[in-house]
Amino acid sequence: MREAYHVELDRLADKLASMSGMVANAMELATKSLLETDLQLAEQVISDDEHVDDTRAQCEEQAYSLLALQAPVATELRKVLAVIHAAESLERMGDLALHVARTARRRHPDPVLPPEVTPYFAEMGKVAVRLARQTEEIIKTTDVDAARALESADDEVDNIHRHLFTVIMDKNWPHGVAAAVDTTLLGRFYERYADHAVSVANRMIFVVTGKMPGYNSDEDL
- CA distance between the termini of the chain: 39
CB 170 within 8 A of CB 180: no
> Which residues, including other chains, have CB under 8 Å from residue 131's CB and lie 6 or more apart?
150, 153, 154, 157, 193, 194, 197, 198
**Cα–Cα distance between 130 and 24 in angstroms, integer?**
8
The pLDDT tens digits of the residues spanning 100-128 come to 999 999 999 999 999 999 999 999 999 99
Task: Check pLDDT > 50 for residue 221.
Answer: no
**Predicted pLDDT at 43:** 98
CATH T-level assignment (fold) for domain 2-213: Methane Monooxygenase Hydroxylase; Chain G, domain 1 (1.20.58)
If you write DSSP's letter for every residue of the chain in order, what string do you get? -HHHHHHHHHHHHHHHHHHHHHHHHHHHHHHHHHHHT-HHHHHHHHHHHHHHHHHHHHHHHHHHHHHHHS---HHHHHHHHHHHHHHHHHHHHHHHHHHHHHHHHHHTTS-SS-TTTHHHHHHHHHHHHHHHHHHHHHHHH--HHHHHHHHHHHHHHHHHHHHHHHHHT-TT--SHHHHHHHHHHHHHHHHHHHHHHHHHHHHHHHHHHSS-TT--GGGG-
As a residue count, the chain comes to 221
Note if the bond before 109 is cis, omega within 30 degrees: yes
Question: Per-residue pLDDT tens for 15-60?
Answer: 999 999 999 999 999 999 999 999 999 999 999 999 999 999 999 9
The pLDDT of residue 4 is above 90? no
What was the pLDDT predicted at 220? 35
pLDDT at 149: 94
Count of beta carbons in the 10 Å neighbourhood of residue 38:
17
Residue 172 CB contacts under 8 Å (≥ 6 apart), including other chains: none
Please state the domain extents for the chain. 2-213
